[in-house]
């Protein structure tokens, strides 16, 4: 379902804006020192929210932490609250909902201290989203209605519309469909007056979901069509991911499993691109169930096991329950009844837990009350016993005290000796403590250094993500494609690249392998991608060979200092497709693979052809030879495959050898009748099975495009 985090964001000085920001009106407002602080903060707040929160939550989190520091220095409590909310939302998208709730508690306290009612309402609403995901419906409702009371008091129509939407999600989750429809329709009315395509698309999407649950499939499809129109107009990747997930469930229920499979795979790509871990979890679980219905046991298990582990990690009990049920069905079908029973028991445990949440809470309160009453009674009995001591007992106590005095005198000598020994031990302790403190400081320094390195690598990843093409853009120009991108480390020396030249109706796509991997490789990839962009966008080159010639020139200029020539560069395959599917291509070391549907249908052994390219790299060499451009006329149903060498060079298998090209070609030929996204799934499974427990040796990047 399509849920909204509603918050007042905060703005901050963005020290890397030349790399990550665009020439946007919001940025200009922030950069103008003549503007009032409130105006500047509000503008940058909206920029962070709209640009990063749902497409790059890691970046949003980093900015929000700095944002809080800036707001605190200026003592602007409203924006301190907003900064904490930003962080909480980012953590929630990243699946760390416990941390989100901690931050919401802090921001709620701060909002109330400063009489920030709207801020408090936003926090209540966002907490309601988390509790809904967790299946804690009572807590979700309490928070939502607290928020609604505030928004109605303030007559905040926009937030009321979003809150109605969230209430619809809550009631839909509990299968109270008439209330879900009521709130979704009220939300839609408000959003239509605001004319925001993203908001309107979300409302239509949720109405489609509830009618899908009511098995009114035609009505659901009508709403989904409306949703797709608005979400595509808004270029809302998360919303489109939700669309594919929901329409996939509709196809799934009607038994159209191939259609649902394609929808789930498309949803998974979109959610992966924006790193929405909760939605990735949901999609993997539905995808696993879909594969089971298609008799693909291995793929079903791969996604279901991954999904149930993530559901536990992110505390999404409702999805853990569905995953357990699907795993039961997989093992039951495979006649592995022991494992089937294990997952069936887990399914019922979670289901009972979700259904009896209120009873559990009442029982817990009764338990606490019972323990309180019991303690009160015990305290009263103890008091009565003390008051009932008679004179004889008092005399006995006096005699005992006299005896104790005698024993104390005898003890003094021993105490003196113990003090001497204690002094020696204390000095030894001080020496050890100093050494321990030094070790602790070293550990803290190492931990701090490790954290700084991790943050630097995470930032490098965010920078690298900026050079990768948007999945929605690729989907628009290549409706049938896949990208298998599996870095060896957090960041990659491999990358894929795309550019569309509207004036000539040309689609240019490339897959590249830069010198090194990890952070060094990622740094080189930024230089190489920038050079490709300049060659095409600034210099207007569209011929693949000439693009590589110019890109090499720009790379050499970048890496050449004081007449010292660095050999850093890249191996690459680059293709340019026109409107008639004439494919002009060039490359450095990495060949282009072409699958001919016509040859395959004729059972021709050359259905999958490797088209070789130049062997020299796009970088400095002693002899700078020009890159050749060649052409292939592609037919309907043909594929082109662009790849780096990471897949074929991977060690594994029974003899721990490289995978190599020939087995990969044979495997590709065996799966070319499958749709592109299924090919990606099968290739990923093949790679992981081959690798086994071995370390991944290099980055892996492969793109398949169907004409």
pLDDT digits (tens, 9 = 90+) for 274-321: 888 889 999 999 999 999 999 999 899 999 999 999 999 888 888 999
At residue 463, the pLDDT reads 73
Residue 96 has pLDDT above 50, yes or no: yes
pLDDT at residue 14 tops 50: no
Spatial CB neighbours of 388, under 8 Å, sequence gap ≥ 6: none
Minimum mean pLDDT range among 46-60, 199-213, 263-277, 484-498 = 46-60
- pLDDT score recorded for residue 198: 92
In the block, tokens 């991790």 appear at: 454
Q: Which architecture, in CATH terms, is 471-706?
A: 4-Layer Sandwich (3.60)
Q: What is the DSSP letter of 674?
A: S
Residue-by-residue DSSP string for 262-329 = HHHHHHHHHHHHHT-HHHHHHHHHHHHHHHHHTT-HHHHHHHHHHHHHHHHHTT-HHHHHHHHHHHHH
Q: Region 406-423: what's the mean pLDDT?
A: 56
Cα–Cα distance, 456 to 320 (Å, whole number): 34
pLDDT, residue 517, reads: 67
Higher pLDDT pick, 428 / 414: 428
Model confidence band, residue 55 (pLDDT cutoffs 50, 70, 90): confident
Q: What is the pLDDT of residue 453?
A: 66
Q: Is the pLDDT of residue 704 over 60?
A: yes
Model confidence at 8: pLDDT above 60: no
Which residues 6+ apart lie within 8 Å of 134 measured at CB?
97, 315, 316, 317
Dihedral sign, Cα of residue 294, residue 300, residue 303, residue 309: positive
Give 77-127 as a DSSP string: HHHHHHHHHHHHHHHHHTT-HHHHHHHHHHHHHHHHHTT-HHHHHHHHHHH
Instruction: Calculate mean pLDDT across residues 399-423.
Output: 55
Backbone dihedral angles phi then psi of residue 252, each to the nearest 5 degrees: -60, -45
Give the model's pLDDT for residue 322.
94
pLDDT value of residue 369: 42
The pLDDT of residue 1 is above 60: no
Exposed / middle / buried, residue 420 (Cβ in 10 Å: 0-12, 13-18, 19+): exposed
CB atoms within 10 A of CB 145: 14
Q: Is the pLDDT of residue 367 over 50?
A: no
Confidence category of residue 461, pLDDT binned at 50, 70, 90: confident
Query: How many Å apart are CA 38 and CA 82, to the nearest integer?
Result: 13
Average pLDDT over residues 412-437: 62
Mean pLDDT on 78-99 = 88
Cα separation, 666 vs 608, in Å, equals: 9
**How many helices (H) and strands (E) in the chain?**
26, 13
pLDDT digits (tens, 9 = 90+) for 613-646: 999 889 888 788 999 999 999 999 999 999 999 9
**What's the DSSP call for residue 513?**
E
Nearest to 61 by CA among 466, 518, 455: 455
Contacts of residue 561, Cβ cutoff 8 Å, sequence gap at least 6: none
pLDDT at 386 over 50: no
Contact present, 677 and 482 (Cβ < 8 Å): yes
Instruction: Give percent of the chain above pLDDT 90.
Output: 52
Residue 496 has pLDDT above 90, yes or no: yes
Residues 6+ positions from 126 with CB-CB distance below 8 Å: 5, 6, 7, 85, 88, 89, 92, 100, 104
pLDDT greater than 50 at residue 16: no
The C-alpha atoms of residue 133 and residue 316 are separated, in whole angstroms, by 6
Reported as a pLDDT band with limits 50, 70 and 90, residue 507 is very high
Q: Which two tokens stand for residue 448?
A: 């701090």
pLDDT, residue 394, reads: 41
Give residues with Cβ within 8 angstroms of 180, minimum separation 6: 168, 169, 170, 171, 172, 206, 210
Q: How far apart, in whole angstroms, are the C-alpha atoms of residue 346 and residue 339?
A: 11
Taking only the tens place, the pLDDT of each residue in 217-246 is 999 999 999 999 999 999 899 999 999 999
Indicate whether 136 pLDDT > 80: yes
Lowest pLDDT segment from 28-42, 122-136, 161-175: 28-42
Q: Is the pLDDT of residue 399 over 70?
A: no
DSSP code string of 23-44: S-HHHHHHH-TTS-HHHHHHHH
Nearest to 569 by CA among 510, 518, 523, 628: 523
CA distance 55 to 24: 17
Residues 6+ apart with CB under 8 A from 434: none
CA distance 38 to 398: 75
Q: In which element (H, E) is residue 592 found?
A: strand 592-595
CB 347 within 8 A of CB 328: yes
Q: What pLDDT score does 42 carry?
A: 78
- Per-chain mean pLDDT for the chain: 83
- Quick one: pLDDT band at residue 502, thresholds 50, 70, 90? very high
Q: Which helix (H) or strand (E) holds 560?
A: none
Partners of residue 637 on adjacent β-strands: none
Instruction: Name the residue among 600, 553, 593 with its Cα closest to residue 573.
Output: 593
Predicted pLDDT of residue 637: 93
Nearest residue to 79 via CA among 147, 11, 174: 11
Which pLDDT score, from 0 to 100, does residue 362 have? Answer: 38
For 236-265, letters b (16+ CB in 10 Å) and e give bbbbbbbbbbbbbbbbbeeeebeebbbbbb
CA atoms within 13 A on the CB side of 562: 0
478 contact partners, CB below 8 Å, separation of at least 6: 507, 509, 705, 706
What's the confidence (pLDDT) of residue 11? Answer: 25
- Under DSSP, is residue 619 helix (H, G, I), strand (E, B) or coil? strand
Query: How deeply is 43 buried, as exposed, middle or buried, from its count of CB atoms within 10 A (0-12, 13-18, 19+)?
Result: buried
Q: What is the mean pLDDT of residues 392-404?
A: 50
Q: What are phi and psi of 642, to 5 degrees?
A: -115, 135
pLDDT above 60: residue 358 = no
- What is the mean predicted confidence (pLDDT) over 596-620? 90
Q: What is the CATH number of domain 276-354?
A: 1.25.40.10
Higher pLDDT pick, 545 / 36 = 545
Q: 179: which 2 tokens?
A: 């209330």
The size of the chain, in residues, is 707
Ranking 352-361, 526-535, 573-582, 608-617 by mean pLDDT, the lowest is 352-361
Secondary structure in 3-state letters for 363-401:
HHHHHHHHHHHHHHHHHHHHHHHHHCCCHHHHHHHHHHH
| pLDDT reported for residue 9 | 28
Query: In terms of C-beta density within 10 A (0-12 exposed, 13-18 middle, 19 or more buried), how is residue 405 classed?
Result: exposed
The terminus-to-terminus CA distance of the chain in angstroms comes to 33
Q: What is the mean pLDDT of residues 448-456?
A: 66
> Percent of the chain scored above 70 by pLDDT?
80
- Residue 454 confidence (pLDDT): 65
pTM flag (> 0.75): no
Q: What is the DSSP letter of 256?
A: -
The arithmetic mean of pLDDT across residues 138-145, rounded, is: 92
Structure tokens at 335: 């006649």
Domain spans of the chain, in order of start: 276-354, 389-465, 471-706
Lowest mean pLDDT segment, chosen from 416-430, 453-467, 473-487, 589-603: 416-430
């Amino acid at each position: 379902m399509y849920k909204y985090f509603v918050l007042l964001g905060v703005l901050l000085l963005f020290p890397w804006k030349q790399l990550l920001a665009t020439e946007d009106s919001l940025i200009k407002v922030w950069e103008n020192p003549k503007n009032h602080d409130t105006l500047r903060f509000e503008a940058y707040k909206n920029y962070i929210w709209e640009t990063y929160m749902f497409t790059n939550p890691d970046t949003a989190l980093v900015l929000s932490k700095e944002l809080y520091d800036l707001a605190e220095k200026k003592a602007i409590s409203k924006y301190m609250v907003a900064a904490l909310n930003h962080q909480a939302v980012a953590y929630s998208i990243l699946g760390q909902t416990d941390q989100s709730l901690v931050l919401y508690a802090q921001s709620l306290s701060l909002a109330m201290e400063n009489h920030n009612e709207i801020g408090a309402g936003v926090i209540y609403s966002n907490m309601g989203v988390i509790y809904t995901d967790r299946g804690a419906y009572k807590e979700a409702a309490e928070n939502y209605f607290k928020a609604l009371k505030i928004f109605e008091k303030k007559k905040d129509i926009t937030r009321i519309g979003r809150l109605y939407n969230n209430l619809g999600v809550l009631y839909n989750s509990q299968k109270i469909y008439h209330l879900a429809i009521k709130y979704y329709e009220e939300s839609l009315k408000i959003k239509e007056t605001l004319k925001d395509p993203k908001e309107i698309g979300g409302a239509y999407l949720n109405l489609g979901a509830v009618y899908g649950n009511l098995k009114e499939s035609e009505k659901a499809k009508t709403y989904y069509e409306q949703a797709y129109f608005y979400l595509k107009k808004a270029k809302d990747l998360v919303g489109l991911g939700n669309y594919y997930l929901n329409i996939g469930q509709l196809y799934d229920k009607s038994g159209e499993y191939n259609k649902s499979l394609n929808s789930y795979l498309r949803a998974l790509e979109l959610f992966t691109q924006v790193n929405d871990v909760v939605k990735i979890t949901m999609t993997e679980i539905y995808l696993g169930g879909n594969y089971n219905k298609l008799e693909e046991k291995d793929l079903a298990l791969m996604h279901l096991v991954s999904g149930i582990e993530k559901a536990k990690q992110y505390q999404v009990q409702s999805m853990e329950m569905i995953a357990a049920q699907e795993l039961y069905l997989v093992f039951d079908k495979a006649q592995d009844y022991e494992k089937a029973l294990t997952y069936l028991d887990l399914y019922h445990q979670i289901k009972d837990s979700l259904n009896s949440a209120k009873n559990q809470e009442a029982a817990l309160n009764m338990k606490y009350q019972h323990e309180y009453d019991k303690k009160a009674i015990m305290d009263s009995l103890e008091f009565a016993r003390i008051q009932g001591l008679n004179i004889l007992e008092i005399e006995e106590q006096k005699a005992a005290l006299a005896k104790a005095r005698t024993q104390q005198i005898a003890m003094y000598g021993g105490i003196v000796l113990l003090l001497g020994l204690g002094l020696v031990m204390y000095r030894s302790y001080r020496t050890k403590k100093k050494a321990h403190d030094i070790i602790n400081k070293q550990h803290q320094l190492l931990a701090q250094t490790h954290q700084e390195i991790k943050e630097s690598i995470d930032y490098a990843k965010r920078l690298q993500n900026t050079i990768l093409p948007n999945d929605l853009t690729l989907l628009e120009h290549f409706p049938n494609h896949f990208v298998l991108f599996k870095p060896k480390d957090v960041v990659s020396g491999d990358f894929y690249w795309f550019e569309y030249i509207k004036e000539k109706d040309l689609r240019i796509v490339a897959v590249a392998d830069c010198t090194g991997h990890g952070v060094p490789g990622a740094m080189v990839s930024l230089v190489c991608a920038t050079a490709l962009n300049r060659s095409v966008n600034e210099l207007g080159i569209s011929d693949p060979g000439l693009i590589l010639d110019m890109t090499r020139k720009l790379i050499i200029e970048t890496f050449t200092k004081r007449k010292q020539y660095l050999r850093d560069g890249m191996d690459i395959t680059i293709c340019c497709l026109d409107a008639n599917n004439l494919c002009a291509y060039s490359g450095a070391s990495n060949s282009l693979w072409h699958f001919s549907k016509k040859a395959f249908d004729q059972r021709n052994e050359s259905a999958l052809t490797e088209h070789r390219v130049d062997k020299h790299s796009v970088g400095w060499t002693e002899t700078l030879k020009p890159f050749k451009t060649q052409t292939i006329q592609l037919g309907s149903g043909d594929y082109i495959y662009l790849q780096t060498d990471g897949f074929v060079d991977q060690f594994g298998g029974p003899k721990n050898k490289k995978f190599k090209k020939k087995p990969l070609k044979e495997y590709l030929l065996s799966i070319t009748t499958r749709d592109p996204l299924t090919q990606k799934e099968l290739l990923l499974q093949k790679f992981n099975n081959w690798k086994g427990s071995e370390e991944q040796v290099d980055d892996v990047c492969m793109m398949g495009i169907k004409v």
